[in-house]
Amino acid sequence: MRRAVLVITLCCALFALIIRSSRASHLAQTRKPATLCSQNETIIFSCGMRKSTKILSLCGSKDLSSQKGYVQYRFGQPGKVELEYPTSRQNTQSAFNYARYTRPLVTYLALRFETNGYKYSIHQDDVEDIKPVVRESYINVTAPGKDAVEMKCSEPVIGGLMKLEDIVPNDEGDVPPTEP
C-alpha cells in the first residue's frame, strides 16, 4: 500500500513538473523580444516601454565607428516598426547629438535627434547621491508647438548610450540635470 502511494505521489510530482516546464517554455516563446535590432546588428541600446508593447532600440552596424557604419533609432513592435531614423544608412552618425552631465555619483546621458518637426531625446539617468538610488531610462518626444511627452523604459535595459560617446557628435553643452 505504501509503495502504491509513493508511486502515485511520484507520478503526480512528475506530471506537475512537466506541466510547469511546458508553461515556462510557452512563456519564454511568447515573451516579446527586447530589441528591434536584427541578428547581424549591434544592440547599442534597447528597452521595452512601460505600459506598452512597444520597443525603443538603437541599432548599429557591426563595424560602427565615428567614420563608418551606421546607427539607427527604431520604435514600434517586431515586424511593425513605426519609426526608423534615419531611413538611409549613410552618414548616420551626424544625424544624432550626444550629451553627458556628470558629477560624483551622478550621470545623465542623452541622445537627441529631430525629424519631421518632432524632437526626440533618449535619456539614461544614474543618480546615486540620493536614496533611493535612481536608475532610469526614458524618451521625451516633443511635437511642434506641444509639451514633451515622456515614456519610460521598463527593466531590463539592454546596452547603454555611453557606447555612442565617441561615435556621434557631442553637444557643446552638457545634459541639463533633471530632478528625479
Q: What is the pLDDT of residues 91-127, one digit of tens each?
A: 999 999 999 999 999 999 999 999 999 999 999 999 9
In the chain, domain spans: 1-31, 41-164
The number of angstroms, rounded, from the C-alpha of 64 to the middle of its chain's C-alpha atoms is 18
Total Cβ atoms within 10 A of residue 110 = 22
Q: Are 36 and 74 in contact (CB under 8 A)?
A: yes
Distance CA 87, CA 36 (A): 15
Question: Would you state the pLDDT for residue 171?
Answer: 84
The predicted structure's pLDDT at residue 20: 44
pLDDT at 25: 40
The three cell numbers locating residue 62: 557591426
- Please give the pLDDT value at position 177: 53
- Strand bridging mode 106-115 / 41-48: unpaired
Predicted local distance difference test score (pLDDT) of residue 46: 98
Beta strands across the sheet bearing 41-48: 80-85, 71-77, 55-61, 41-48, 158-159
Cβ neighbours around 137 below 10 Å, total? 21
**What's the pTM value of the predicted model, to 2 decimals?**
0.78
Report the 10 Å Cβ neighbour count for 34.
Answer: 16
User: What is the pLDDT, as a whole number, of residue 178?
Assistant: 53
Q: What is the pLDDT of residue 34?
A: 84
Torsion 7-10-16-21 (CA) sign: negative
Q: In the chain, which residues have pLDDT < 70?
A: 1-33, 172-180
Instruction: Spell out the residues 6+ positions from residue 8 whose beta carbon is closer than 8 angstroms to its own.
Output: none
